[in-house]
Amino acid sequence: MGALRRLGIEPKVIGEYSEGSPISKVEADIARMKGLLQIFKEEKPEVLIAYPNPPAARVAFGVRLPYIAITDSPHSELPSRLSLPLASAVIFSNCIPHYEIRKFIYDPKTTLRSYGGVDEVTWLLRTKPDLRYIRDLGLTEWSYIVIRPHEHLATYYEGLRPKVNLSKIVEELSKNGITAVIIPRYKDHYLFAEKMREKGLRIKLIQGMYDGVSLTYYARSVVTGGSTLAREAALLRTPGIIYFPTKLYVNECVFKKGYPLFIASTTGEVLDLINKSPTKKKERHSDIIKKLKRDFEDIVPILLESIEALKN
């Protein structure tokens, strides 16, 4: 939402994320479907463009609205199983083997389109880091670490137990005069940040919308239990450290192209990678963008072509 508002677009937010039981998650999906159906009645959209999103896909299918799915997460099985079979087209990075997507689709009705990039490049080509944003937060460039806790409530995290202790990482950073910038996902992440603050540790909690491009560009490194923020950082030549305990095709692709994206499985490995992070970025932002354009394809033209194809 924050990204849209920075572009001068006020989004309509339908529904909310449930942090509860499977039953409450289904109830939240039902409520979202009702809201989306009302939007369809009022706005008469021509196409749905979404990541694997079961309630949106179901509504689109029911009202005969073409659905273009964008995905970089075949490891997220439940949303993929519930939405990709209903898609008119699926667009995905060529880092991901076709069979990983094909197993979810209804073959006679769905077109697959791969492209030579990763999703994060889409917005990195169209935004610039803003040092004023960092200063307004009371931060100094290159002297903080961004931490994004893992999505332990996501279905694809079920049964996975990361061996990384974020409390120890924050304590170690604070001892070395480095601020930990926490970007929470869930309510318990706010409680975690508050406990760290009560201990007198160097903590900055980001609440509400935030400028991820600026935060990752000016950070010493980024630590996350997910992947998107770390890939974004690595593509901007900031070391991205992932402690998600499973290999992902897109991560391996970014690493093989020489970007500083790393996988850590223990607290010690995370701290070692942080200690090796440079204290100052050497490349100019304009040079970074030039390299991104050489190394990766932009998804936007592919998406526009897919929309036009649906009209014919």
Say whether both 141 and 222 belong to one domain.
yes
Q: Is the pLDDT of residue 160 over 90?
A: no
Say whether both 113 and 201 belong to one domain.
no
Q: How much is the pLDDT for 197?
A: 85
Say whether both 236 and 257 belong to one domain.
yes
Q: CATH code at 13?
A: 3.40.50.2000
pTM of the model: 0.91
Say whether both 113 and 152 belong to one domain.
no
Say whether both 156 and 118 belong to one domain.
no
Say whether both 93 and 238 belong to one domain.
no
Domain limits for position 103: 2-123+297-311
| Better-predicted residue by pLDDT, 197 or 275 | 275
CA distance 95 to 246: 16
Say whether both 277 and 145 belong to one domain.
yes
Q: How many independent structural domains does the chain possess? A: 2
Say whether both 194 and 112 belong to one domain.
no
Say if residues 96 and 249 touch (Cβ distance below 8 Å). yes
Q: How much is the pLDDT for 156?
A: 57
pLDDT tens, position by position, 222-266: 999 888 999 999 999 999 999 887 889 999 999 999 999 999 999
CA distance 83 to 75: 14
Q: What is the per-residue DSSP string for 157-186? A: GTT---B--HHHHHHHHHHTT-EEEE--SS
Say if residues 134 and 215 touch (Cβ distance below 8 Å). yes
How many CA atoms does the CB half-sphere of 102 hold within 13 Å? Answer: 6
Q: Is the pLDDT of residue 146 over 80?
A: yes
- Nearest-5° angle of CA 37, CA 73, CA 65? 25
Say whether both 53 and 145 belong to one domain.
no
Q: Is the pLDDT of residue 84 over 90?
A: yes
Say if residues 145 and 219 touch (Cβ distance below 8 Å). yes
Say whether both 47 and 145 belong to one domain.
no
